C-alpha cells in the first residue's frame, strides 16, 4: 500500500534513491584505494540505510524506524571518531598510504 508522501512523490522513489546511494557507496568502497574516500563511502552506505529506515517509518506509520535512525547516527558518529583517529594515525606514519599498502594483518 503505497501511501503518497508530500509533493506526490511515492515511497518507491525514496527507496530507489537509497538503493542507488548504497550501491554507489559499496562500489566506491570496492574500487577506491584512498582510505579517506573509502571512509566517505561507508558513510554514504550508512545514510542510505538511514533513508530507507525513515521511508519505511513513514510508509508503515511506525515511529520505530525513525528512532533507529538516531541510533545509527550515534553509532556513525562514534565510528567516525575512531575511524578518523586511525586514518590520522596512519597518515602520520606514512605520507601517502593507500588501503592496499596496509596489509600487515595478512595471515
Write out the residues near another protein by the rule CB under 8 A.
26, 29-30, 33, 38, 99-100, 102-107
Give the span between the Cα atoms of 61 and 49, in whole angstroms: 18
Cell numbers that stand for 79 in this block: 565510528
* Least CB distance to another protein at residue 63 (A): 27
* Least CB distance to another protein at residue 104 (A): 6
CA distances from 41 to 8, 32, 35, 77 (A): 30, 9, 10, 15
Spell out a b/e string for 62-98, using b for 16 or more CB atoms within 10 Å of the CB, else e: eeebeebbeeeeeebeeeeeebeeebeeeeeeeeeee
Of 67 and 94, the one with the shorter C-beta distance to another protein is: 94
* Least CB distance to another protein at residue 68 (A): 19
* Least CB distance to another protein at residue 14 (A): 20
Of 66 and 79, the one with the shorter C-beta distance to another protein is: 79
Of 25 and 65, the one with the shorter C-beta distance to another protein is: 25
Of 8 and 107, the one with the shorter C-beta distance to another protein is: 107
Amino acid at each position: 500500500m503505497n501511501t503518497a508522501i508530500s509533493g506526490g512523490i511515492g515511497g518507491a522513489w525514496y527507496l530507489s534513491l537509497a538503493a542507488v546511494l548504497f550501491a554507489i557507496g559499496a562500489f566506491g568502497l570496492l574500487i577506491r584505494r584512498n582510505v579517506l574516500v573509502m571512509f566517505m563511502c561507508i558513510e554514504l552506505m550508512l545514510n542510505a540505510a538511514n533513508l530507507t529506515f525513515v521511508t519505511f517509518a513513514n510508509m508503515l506509520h511506525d515511529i520505530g524506524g525513525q528512532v533507529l535512525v538516531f541510533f545509527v547516527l550515534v553509532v556513525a558518529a562514534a565510528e567516525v571518531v575512531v575511524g578518523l583517529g586511525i586514518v590520522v594515525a596512519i597518515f602520520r606514519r606514512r605520507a601517502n598510504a593507500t588501503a592496499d599498502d596496509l596489509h600487515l594483518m595478512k595471515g
